Amino acid sequence: MFGYARKFVAVSMAAAFFAAGAWSRSPRAPRGGRQAVTQVGGAFKLVSPVPNGDWEEPAGDLANTRFSPLSQINTQNVKNLKVIAILSDGIAHGHEGQPLVVNNTLYEVTPYPNELIAYNLKDLSGPVEWIYNPYPNPISQGKACCDVVNRGAAYGDGKIVYQILSDEVVAVDAKTGKQVWRTRTGESTQGQTSTNAPIIVKGKVYVGNAGGELGVRGKLTCLDLATGKILWTAYSQGPDSDVLIGPDFHPFYKKDQGKDLGVSTWPPDQWKHGGGTIWGWISYDPETNLIFYGTGNPGVWNPDQRAGSNHWSITIFARDADTGQAKWAYQVEPHDDFDYDEIMENIAIDMDWHGKMRKLLLHPGRNGFFLVLDRETGELLSAEKFVDSTNWASGYDLKTGLPILNPAKVTHQGVVTTDICPSSTGGKEFVPSAVSPITGYDYIPAHNTCMDYEGLPANYIAGTPYLGADVKMYPGPGGYQGMLEAWDLKTQKPVWSIKDPLFPVYSGVLATGGNVVFYGTLEGWFRAVDARTGQILWQFKTPSGIIGDPMTYIGPDGHQYVAIYSAIGGWMGATAFPSISISDPTAALGVVGAMAKIKQYSPPGDNLFIFGL
């Protein structure tokens, strides 16, 4: 135990020492200590190095642990955390995602119009370094299902790379703010938007797309980091050639085996509006050279318009990072009845699993089940409920990989099915959890929301919603609608939770080497929690609900800072906007019924808060 503590102190002192000298080095030299930390703690093995001063990828590391080894801020001193800076961008829409920190500069991607702002960390009260404005197409504002959000950028080879709402990937020179390249991936007029954050691996950029509520075909696009040229595209449905399924593809379960399932598991041509968009997180495992991500709902929400298992919607894919060829795929929910997109994070760790060291993939699902898979084969090893009220299925059959459905909760056209838990927003939304290799817990931002759901006949009209459902959500039973839950990875059981009576937890989570876990609430509280016990050690009321993801970095002075957006919006948070009426509980795709009180707790906002000791 003390050995670990000494190692943390040494690592953070090294980071501080190197950070203090960083600005005197040439701009191209890597920061001392950055990305140097390959193992911390003993609960599981990290598979990709975790950031140690900068923050260059959306999740910090490529394996999506959202763990930082930094420990200057720890359980003893976090009660002294104070506001260092409040940075406003004037755009009062949902700020999802997280900023980046590279070479003493903090980079923020704003919601539409997707400005990239470079802040000088040496003087946050002075002028910004520069602002890059990509001028997205204004009609994209009316195609974004869930507010005009952006989930962040990635840094690679001197460039900041991100997506703009109207379907272009842009690369900006990190020093000068000048555009380096700009590549189009789709059309707003067809209903596509682009909201997810890229990851950058070995000179390649990986991005997904959005628009599953408008009948858009989901796809993962791989671009060359130097030129922006599109190298390959992997669709989420269609013939195997579209899905980049070839001789290397070995799905573990029989239900996912067969030729051209992306066509045959749909009524004729229905796959062409098959959704399966990729609007969440992408992770990478250097050990297996595999990219992991999940796909979204199968297009039209009315299940009766798409008989069949609707491959490859709601599927976790593993692809070769170089060629894009699929290695395995696991469809989490065949023939979705509930809009349970499974685009959540897929966290890669190596851990002793029932006596044997295994390469795992952790996926706390929208559907209320915590999935653990073998990331080499796609075998489902465990699926336990992490929200008690989950009732659409009683569990998973690990032999077949299929959920054990509750027949009382299936949905149909013309039938109102009531009390389905979780709601379409899920037992957890896209907002990412974090894992700690010290405690061995996954800290899940969870929801307890249920819904009524009626399928309606829907027409496909390009650029308009292709929905076919009347949905009304409301808080689940038990007196709480949200919780931060610590989930023990060894036992696959909850350890502790901090419950919020009124609203779901809609922020990301950060776990740190100081054994402090950070997260935020929709009322605007930003909290620091003891990673072992769940005790709230510190909290600060920011003015707007928190739907972003906390990150941490070492500043030019060698000290540790934590940054978080305070700017409500997004899907559930849209209820806070003046443009939404709480007299209609079915508005905003049904969330208003669960969120009506939010207008009294959180106005829209536009702030980025930086905290330090």
Catalytic sites, residue numbers: 213, 297, 339
- Closer by beta carbon to other proteins, 178 or else 354: 178
Count, residues in the chain = 613
Which of the residues 220 through 279 are near other proteins (CB under 8 A)?
Answer: 227-230, 233
Three-state SS annotation for 288-349? CCEEEEECCCCCCCCHHHCCCCCCCCCEEEEEECCCCCEEEEEECCCCCCCCCCCCCCCEEE
- Contact segment (CB under 8 A) with other proteins among 197-205, 234-242, 525-533, 574-582 equals 574-582
- How many Cβ atoms are within 10 Å of 42's Cβ, its own excluded? 12
Which residues touch 275 (CB under 8 Å, ≥6 apart)?
Answer: 211, 212, 213, 215, 216, 217, 218, 236, 295, 296, 297, 298, 299, 300, 313
State the nearest-atom distance from the C-beta of 573 to other proteins, in Å: 13
Which of 25, 79, 184, 259 binds other proteins (CB under 8 A)? It is: 184
User: Binding to other proteins by residue 141, rule CB under 8 A?
Assistant: yes
The token pair at 38 is 């390959």
Q: Which of 212, 294, 432, 590 binds other proteins (CB under 8 A)?
A: 590
Selected binder of other proteins within 585, 604, 605, 612 (CB under 8 A): 585
Q: Which amino acid is at 221?
A: T
144 binds other proteins (CB under 8 A): yes
Contact call for residue 461 and other proteins (CB under 8 A) = yes
Q: Does 583 bind other proteins (CB under 8 A)?
A: yes
DSSP letters for 354-423: TTEEEEEEEEE-TTSEEEEEETTT--EEEEEESSTT--SEEEEETTTTEEEE-GGG---BT-EEEEESS-
Which lies closer to other proteins via its Cβ, residue 17 or residue 135?
135
Closest separation in Å from C-beta 406 to other proteins: 25
Q: Which of 53, 465, 475, 555 binds other proteins (CB under 8 A)?
A: 465
How far is it, in rounded angstroms, from Cα 571 to Cα 581?
Answer: 14
Q: Which of residues 2-61 bind other proteins (CB under 8 A)?
A: none
Give residues 110-139 in contact with other proteins (rule: CB under 8 A).
133-135, 137-139
Binding status of residue 338 toward other proteins by CB under 8 A = no
Q: For CA atoms 581, 584, 589, 595, give the dihedral sign.
A: positive
Q: Does the protein bind other proteins through residue 463 (CB under 8 A)? A: yes
Collapsing DSSP to helix, strand or coil, 242 comes out as: helix
Nearest residue (CB) to other proteins, 142 versus 478: 142
Question: Cβ 588 to other proteins, closest distance in Å?
Answer: 4
Beta carbons within 8 Å of 296's beta carbon, 6+ residues apart: 210, 212, 218, 236, 275, 276, 277, 278, 279, 280, 313, 314, 341, 342, 343
For residue 397, give every residue at least 6 positions away whose Cβ sits within 8 Å of its Cβ, in sequence order, or none.
Answer: 403, 404
Q: Is 170 helix (H, G, I), strand (E, B) or coil?
A: strand
Number of H helices, E strands in the chain: 6, 39
Q: Select 96 or 213, whichever has its Cβ closest to other proteins.
A: 213
Within 13 Å of residue 2, how many CA atoms lie on the same side as its CB? 0
Number of residues that bind other proteins (CB under 8 A): 59
Q: Which of 47, 70, 102, 145 binds other proteins (CB under 8 A)?
A: 145
413 part of the interface to other proteins, by CB under 8 A = no
Residue 108 near residue 99, CB atoms below 8 Å: yes
Stretch that binds other proteins, among 239-247, 256-264, 458-466, 475-483 (CB under 8 A): 458-466
Choice from 65, 98, 104, 188 touching other proteins (CB under 8 A):
188
Alpha-carbon distance of 436 to 42, in angstroms, equals 10
Near other proteins in 150-179, by CB under 8 A: 168, 173, 178-179
Cβ proximity to other proteins: between 184 and 493 the closer is: 184
Closer to other proteins at the Cβ: 208 or 432? 208
Binding window for other proteins (CB under 8 A); candidates: 116-124, 200-208, 466-474, 505-513: 466-474
Using the contact rule CB under 8 A, the part of the chain among 2-10, 117-125, 549-557, 575-583 near other proteins is 575-583
For residue 307, state whether it binds other proteins (rule: CB under 8 A): no
- Does 405 participate in binding other proteins (rule CB under 8 A)? no
Cα–Cα distance between 280 and 293 in angstroms, integer?
8
Cβ closer to other proteins: 78 or 420? 420
Region from 72-80, 181-189, 242-250, 440-448 binding other proteins, contact rule CB under 8 A: 181-189
DSSP conformation letters of 57-119: STTSSSS---EE---SS-TTTGGG-EEEEEEE-S--S---S--EEETTEEEEEPSTTT-EEEE
- Residue 312's identity, in one-letter code, is W
Residue 190 CB, shortest distance to other proteins, in Å, is: 10
Applying CB under 8 A, which residues contact other proteins? 133-135, 137-145, 168, 173, 178-184, 186-188, 213-214, 227-230, 233, 456, 458-459, 461, 463-467, 470-472, 574, 577-590, 592
